[in-house]
Structures are given as C-alpha cells and as structure tokens.
Chains A and B, each alone.
Chain A
Amino acid sequence: MKTVSEFHSLNASTALVSVWYRGRRLDLPEGANLAAALLAVGITSFRETPVSGAPRGPYCMMGACFDCLVTIEGVTRQACMLEVSAGLRISSLADPQGGQDAL
C-alpha cells in the first residue's frame, strides 16, 4: 500500500477523528469527504476487482463509477459519497462483516 500522498492540502488544519481502515487506525479530518481524506493520507487503492483482483481507487468522485467501493458495517458503500465521522470502521469488499450487499 502506498502511503505517501500525491496530494497537497490547501486546508487550514481541522479537527481530526479516528477511523479504522482495514484494521489500521487513521486520523482523518471530521466531516471531510471520505474518499478524498483517504487519498490525502496516501491510500489510493480502495479495493480489488472481483474479476482479476486488480487494484482500484476513486475515478469520478461523483457517485457514478462505483470504483471507490468500501464496506462499512457490512454494507457496500461509495467512499466518495460519505463523510468522515469518528469511529467509522472501513473494510475492503473482500472481507465484508455480515454480507449485507446492495441490490
């Protein structure tokens, strides 16, 4: 996993909260867009494709491509459509907890 960010932040420092990403603790800005916040700390691949296992990260940032999928509390969600909140538990699609998949 790459951990050096490709992005500069123009923001003045904001309050950070802890979330869990694939079992690892991350401190991210509260209320920030989740996909952007993960990219900003150097996480660029969010999942592996079901067909070939290729790494994928956010592509459109507007809820249309579904490449930013993560699993939160057993539900598959688009990271670019979520905001960071304290205690989020984010896992990859491969290890869903509870397997409540979207239709």
Chain B
Amino acid sequence: MHCDLIIIGAGPAGMAAAATAAQIGLTVVVLDEQPRPGGQIYRDVDRVAPLRGDILGRDFTEGTALTAGLDHPNIHHIAGAVVWSVEEAVSVHYTRAGQSHRVTGKRILLATGALERPMPLPGWTLPGVMTVGAGQIMLKQSGLVSARAVLVGAGPLLYLLAVQMLRAGAPPLALVETQTKGDALRAIRHVLGALHGWRDLRNGLAMLYELWRGGVPRYLAATDIAIEGAAHAEALRFVSGGKAHRIAAGSVFLHHGVVPNTQAARTIGIAHRWDAGQACFAPELDVWGQTAVKTVFIAGDGARIGGAKVARVAGALAALQIAQQLGRITAPQRDQKARSLVRRLQAERAIRPFLDAAYPPMAQALSPQDNTIVCRCEEVTAGDIRRSAQLGCLGPNQAKAFCRAGMGPCQGRYCGLTVSAVLAQENMRSMGETGYFRIRSPIKPVTLAELASAEDTQGHE
C-alpha cells in the first residue's frame, strides 16, 4: 500500500493531521493499534459518548468532531494496526489480525501520544495497582469503576478521574496528593500566564469544587507512600499533615503526570533533549514538528506535553508543512492557513508552565528507596541500579548489561526515566549527560508467524 502521508496514532494529533492533509488532497493512511479511533483522551468516543457522555463530560464527547473528520475519501484508517517498525526511507511495518503488513509513503507523522510517568513506589507491582489513565480507560471503554479506590499522586488527570468516578456513583475513598506548598508558591509565578488559559483554570477549580461537595477526602503533600498487600493491593500507607495514615483499598491508581512516548522516534535516531520544565526527554523539532530525519514529523503529546487541544493544532500544522513540501500548497498558502492555528497554539499552551510547576513529579518516585522495584519487567530495584553506578555504570544502556534494567518486553517504557534519574543522582551528572535507553525495532512484539505471513501478503498490497 502506498500513500502521501502515513500517520501513526488516531488521537487528537493524528486525527487533526489526517483531516487537514486530506482536505488539501493528500492521500493518508492512519494506523492505530486500538480497535476504534480517539487516542487516549477520546478513547472509543463514538461508541461511548452516547452510553456515558454525562459521566465523562463535554471534554470527552467533543472528540466525536475529530473522529468524524476521518470519514474522508482520502483517508484510510486502519484500526487494530500495531506498528512495530518505522523506517525513514519511508515505510512503516505493522501487524494486524496475525499478519504483518507494510505501508510506504512520502512522509510519516508520529502521533503516538504520551505515557504515564513511571511512579515506582513500594508495592506498585501488586495486582490492583494501576495508573490513573488505566482507571480512566476502564471507565471510558469498558464502563467499569472501582468500588474501593484510592487515587495517588498529582495533576489534573487525578482530579478528572475522581470527578468521573463521583458522577458514576462510585467516588474514590480518598485522593492522596503529593504536590507541596513549595510547589504552589513556585506555580504562582506562572499565574499571570495561566490566566490566558482561564478556561482550563476554571475547569480545574470546578473539579476541585465538585470533589469537595461530593465529600471526597483529600490528603495533601503526602510522603512515605507504600502499597501493602500479599497477592493484591490491600491498603495504602502514607504520611500527611505530620500524621501516618492507612487506608484499606481494593484498587490504587497512581499518576504524577504524563511524558512523551518517544519509542518510535528513538528507533530512527531522532535526537531528544532533556526538558527540565516538564522533567522528561522530548524530541528535537522545528516549529512544524519536523525532525532532523526530514521524512519524519512528530505532533501531539509525543512531541511535548500540551494536552488534547494543543495536540490537535500541532497535528494540523504538521500536515500543512507536509502539504507544502509535497508541492500541494504554496508557502504563502501554508502560512495563511497556519496563522490562526499558531495563535490558538499559544493560547492553549498558556496554562502549561503553571500546571508543570503546581503538579511536579513526586520526589519519592524520582529517587525510590533501595528495595523498591524500578524495572517491572526484570524486577530490578533502585538499589540494584545504585550498585551498578557504584561499579562504574554511567548510562542506562550500560545499566542493561549491569543489572538487566530495561531488558524486558516494555522496553523501558515504565522504568527508563527512573533508571536515568537514579544513575544521574548517583553519578552527580545531569539527565542530559546521563541520557536514555537506546530503543530498537520491533517496538511492539511481532511473532515469526506474523513475519512469515508478510511475504505472502506483500504482493497483493
């Protein structure tokens, strides 16, 4: 199969890019491993909005405008397509229903979104402990809500899930929040900027008010957090307000922010730099989202955390530049279309510095105690990583050889940032100097049988 633009990810960034490119006349293939479009925020929105739109709110249901944009003769959306390899000379391999396929094109847009920041705490590998995003995915996609849940960490997504659970008639037992008074003071500097994003501020305050009215207890500036349980999460222990607390719970949902999912970009050598404000690695891009690998663009939370509205605008901007480079519009036409988008981008980004400062990653999870598991796949602890550093290990790629951290099937998605952070602390080097895991294809598992089937189908494509 061949097209002008291959988009990986049918979230807001990918969907907006597809619609913009298709309207200009480009042929587009959109690949997403999910069975239906929407991405993380609008997960399964077409099917779910009529069922639970009241619980999930307008910020969810408005996603149907984007999914509707995929219905265009120039767009071929392939659902259930798990992308396992991206090549700069422009092709993408994916598996679908047990077969491997290849699409070729002229440009690739990576719109693979964010991952939740790793949150290694004692007991975080127990069944019953999940991410807040996972709790939300279950509520959205499957209509399941935990009966005895505690939400732990920091950030707007924590409040959003709590409010949605409240509306669903199953309020969480408590919110155990990790941001501190110092964080609030640091955030004040950004309040003026955030006022440009007053709608987001108002929504945030409305959520807090709804939680207060719903009687959901909030514990602030929590430290010394641990999940207890033998074969399943049974309780959460923590210290807040100078007192030790224990809450018996059946589910513990963790969250302290999202970070760009850089897996695909890293396999083709795209450079990433440490973003201190967002405490994550982000790919180096120009204003249109183009990488130094000229055939590959990145948009959305995979480029820089900005949320759904920013993702949508960034996707459209990337599509305009791609259309110009492929000779479908002139540079002045591109600029004319881009002007209002850039203004929107600035407005939608206004709240970010405030949020990043008000809800920073939790200190305990950035520097876990020695016996806390960091690499879930290989069960490598923070102590193992520190010992590697003491033996001379400077970077995460060496750590793989020293202690197997990052060697499992998740390819470091839920340990990479912690491994880098612990090594950086031990060696007293910066995150930029310490670097990140080298990632190689396949970024998703592919079986020999699926590969064998690729040869069979390629002739028909």
What is the interface of chain A, defined by CB distance below 8 A to chain B?
2, 6-11, 32-33, 36-37, 39-40, 44-46, 49, 51-52, 54-67, 69, 75-76, 81, 83, 100-103
Asked if residues A66 and B133 are in contact (CB atoms below 8 Å), the reply is: no
Asked if residues B142 and A59 are in contact (CB atoms below 8 Å), the reply is: no
| Highest count of chain B CB atoms <10 Å: which of A7, A46, A58, A101 | A7
- Chain B residues, CB < 8 A from A36: 138, 141-142, 144
Asked if residues B35 and A10 are in contact (CB atoms below 8 Å), the reply is: no
A57: which of B115, B128, B137 is its contact (CB, 8 Å)?
A: B128
Asked if residues B130 and A66 are in contact (CB atoms below 8 Å), the reply is: no
Closest Cβ neighbor of B134 among chain A residues: A61
How many angstroms between the C-alpha atoms of A11 and B145 in the bound complex? 11
Asked if residues B410 and A44 are in contact (CB atoms below 8 Å), the reply is: no
State how many angstroms separate the Cβ of B125 from the closest Cβ of chain A.
7
Using an 8 Å CB-CB cutoff, how does the interface string of B148-180 with A read, 1 for contact, 0 for none?
100000000000000000001110000000000
A54: which of B125, B142, B250 is its contact (CB, 8 Å)?
A: B125
- Chain A residues, CB < 8 A from B352: none
Using an 8 Å CB-CB cutoff, how does the interface string of B106-137 with A read, 1 for contact, 0 for none?
00000000011000000001111111011001
- Chain B residues, CB < 8 A from A9: 143-144
Interface residue stretch chosen among B18-26, B215-223, B327-335, B373-381: B373-381
Whether a CB of chain A sits under 8 angstroms from the CB of B383 is no
Closest Cβ neighbor of B408 among chain A residues: A66
Asked if residues B125 and A58 are in contact (CB atoms below 8 Å), the reply is: no
Interface of B, secondary structure class, is loop
Asked if residues A65 and B376 are in contact (CB atoms below 8 Å), the reply is: yes
Interface residue stretch chosen among B185-193, B285-293, B314-322, B446-454: B446-454
- Chain A residues, CB < 8 A from B363: none
Asked if residues A45 and B232 are in contact (CB atoms below 8 Å), the reply is: yes
Asked if residues A7 and B128 are in contact (CB atoms below 8 Å), the reply is: no
Known: A6-B146, A61-B130, A66-B410. Contact between A55 and B231, CB under 8 A?
yes
- Chain B residues, CB < 8 A from A56: 125, 127, 376
Asked if residues B125 and A8 are in contact (CB atoms below 8 Å), the reply is: no
Asked if residues A103 and B445 are in contact (CB atoms below 8 Å), the reply is: yes
Asked if residues B33 and A103 are in contact (CB atoms below 8 Å), the reply is: no
How many angstroms between the C-alpha atoms of A32 and B451 in the bound complex? 28
How many angstroms between the C-alpha atoms of A62 and B35 in the bound complex? 12
- Chain A residues, CB < 8 A from B131: 59-61
Closest Cβ neighbor of B52 among chain A residues: A10
Known: A6-B148, A36-B144. Contact between A61 and B125, CB under 8 A?
no
How many angstroms between the C-alpha atoms of A49 and B377 in the bound complex? 8
Asked if residues B447 and A102 are in contact (CB atoms below 8 Å), the reply is: yes
- Chain A residues, CB < 8 A from B388: none
Asked if residues A59 and B130 are in contact (CB atoms below 8 Å), the reply is: yes
Closest Cβ neighbor of B165 among chain A residues: A8
State how many angstroms separate the Cβ of A101 from the closest Cβ of chain B.
8
Asked if residues A8 and B127 are in contact (CB atoms below 8 Å), the reply is: no
How many angstroms between the C-alpha atoms of A49 and B380 in the bound complex? 12
Whether a CB of chain A sits under 8 angstroms from the CB of B414 is yes
Asked if residues A51 and B447 are in contact (CB atoms below 8 Å), the reply is: no
State how many angstroms separate the Cβ of A5 from the closest Cβ of chain B.
8
Asked if residues A45 and B231 are in contact (CB atoms below 8 Å), the reply is: yes
